[in-house]
């Protein structure tokens, strides 16, 4: 059988949630109101597949640029390049 090369290949341990957090969705993370220029951490939530950025951005920090529908556009530095990531609020955490 040909090896799968999907977007979530090799994420079994990265996107696994702890047992007590398995069917839990934190409403304060979804309802948080970000402003332009706020610093956020990209922490992927494995139970929410929609609006999940690529796993190479897991653990990165960036700045909110704007809102795009339900999601947020985040500017992240990847190496020497500045990249934009579109992520839903379930995968973002505010930094203060």
How do the pLDDT tens digits run along the chain, 96 residues long?
A: 998 888 888 888 888 888 888 877 889 889 999 999 999 999 999 888 899 999 999 999 999 999 999 999 999 999 999 999 999 999 999 997
CATH class of 19-94: mainly beta
Helix/strand/coil for 31: coil
Domain boundaries, the chain: 19-94
Neighbour-count burial of 61, counting CB atoms closer than 10 A to its CB (0-12 exposed, 13-18 middle, 19+ buried): middle
Closest listed residue to residue 32, CA positions, set 19, 41, 23: 41
Alpha helix stretches (DSSP H) within 1-96: 27-30
């Amino acid at each position: 059988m040909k090896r799968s090369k999907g977007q979530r290949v090799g994420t079994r341990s990265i996107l696994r949630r702890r047992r007590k957090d398995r069917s839990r969705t934190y409403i304060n993370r979804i309802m948080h109101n970000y402003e332009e220029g706020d610093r956020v951490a990209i922490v992927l939530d494995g139970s929410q597949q929609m609006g999940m950025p690529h796993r190479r951005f897991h653990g990165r920090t960036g700045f909110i640029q704007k809102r795009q529908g339900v999601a947020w556009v985040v500017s992240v530095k990847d190496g020497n390049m500045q990249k934009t990531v579109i992520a839903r609020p379930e995968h973002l955490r505010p930094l203060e």
